[in-house]
Amino acid sequence: MPEPASKPAPSTLRIAIAGVSGYAGGELARLLLRHPRLQSATPLLLGRMGEPEAVPTALTHLHPQLSGIGPANELRVLPFTWQQLQRQSIDIIFLATPHEQSRAWAPQAIAHGMRVIDLSGAWRLQQEHNRAVYKLEDTDPVLAAELQREAVYGSPELHAPAIRNARLVANPGCYATSILLALAPLVRSGLLDLDHGIVCDSKSGASGAGKALVPNNLFMHAADNLSAYAVFGHRHTGELLEQLGLSSEQFQFTPHLLPIPRGILSTIYVRLRQPSRPEEIQAVLERFYAAAPLVRLRPSPQLPQIQHVARTNFCDLGFHLGPDGRKMVVVSCLDNLLKGAASQAVENMNLMAGWKQSEGLQ
């Protein structure tokens, strides 16, 4: 299907980030500060909303590693209001905020004329029973339901056309991205014996848990350690079921906390309907990702590892077929803060602006 003729892409956009103080917010700021289409644009607004009396803080105070990068030294993180954003003609606002806030703010931002890219889990799920894990409360349930139906799941490899025209993009979860990019081509190709079930064993660096001052985020908890958590109950399960069209019987996912700052590796166990050869699988993946700028396929039997993707914008995929030609292990790696969050959000922005998908990311 050819893309519809559309109005020409703007040369730049006016951007705001809410929630820039977290790890993903900091990476997002870094990417946008270096983005060639945004370098001359003013303002890049960085904000804490709803804290009207908060004192402006230097961006480099919150993220010292950004000092000296583009205009970072001049940027202030400000409390701001919707009116101010509207007055500044903000085109797109990134919400790098907790899901409760994202659920409340997305409708308001849209009502004030902005498009929204939300990095939380607030808008990813169409099915109410999946959404239940987030315990979301809507002040205007009718409007929220409508906006939910309109929201586009921001996986550029799967939904680029819809993202281009979206008002509200729900940026995928970090674990979900690593698993979805591995499974989508295989599920869609019909190669998998879905009834046998799929097992995803994922391992993530500590930044995935955010900056909260809780015992599990302490150095003394994570260092020299590995632990499984949220077995049979991680929130990213729902978005994977919806995106892959699987039932909860067919899919299981166990996350683990790795003693490293960044990176996810997912080891995914599937069974093929028919015995296959590695070249057939490789061909399916290559076809699917032929135009995907941020997915790198390793030629089997090479496998990706976290070291090769950490602090890059890429998701790397590789696989091994068992001697029976039916058991298969797929390994997927990405940086949870980048392709698992900020880089993917920038891809979505690029698509929404009509720019090249990987603009500012290679």
Q: Give 320 or 356: the residue with its C-beta nearer to a copy of itself.
A: 320
Q: Spot the catalytic one: 174, 200, 315, 333.
A: 174
Q: Give 134 or 314: the residue with its C-beta nearer to a copy of itself.
A: 314
CB of 296 to a copy of itself, least distance (A): 5
Between the CA of residue 119 and those of 98, 342, 343, what are the distances in Å? 9, 8, 11
The C-alpha atoms of residue 123 and residue 141 are separated, in whole angstroms, by 13
For residue 144, the number of C-alpha atoms closer than 13 Å in the C-beta half-sphere is 17
Q: How many residues does the chain have?
A: 362
CB of 136 to a copy of itself, least distance (A): 22
Between the CA of residue 90 and those of 8, 93, 114, 155, 177, what are the distances in Å? 19, 7, 6, 23, 28
CB of 305 to a copy of itself, least distance (A): 4
Give me 23's structure tokens.
């790890």
The C-alpha atoms of residue 243 and residue 239 are separated, in whole angstroms, by 6
Give me 99's structure tokens.
């899901």
CB of 204 to a copy of itself, least distance (A): 10
- E strand or H helix at 198: strand 198-204
Helix (H, G, I), strand (E, B) or coil at 60: helix
DSSP for 126-192 reads -SHHHHGGG----SSHHHHHHHHHH-EE--HHHHHHHHHT-SEEEPPPHHHHHHHHHHHHHHHTT-B
CB of 79 to a copy of itself, least distance (A): 21
**Is 174 known to be catalytic?**
yes
> Catalytic amino acids?
174
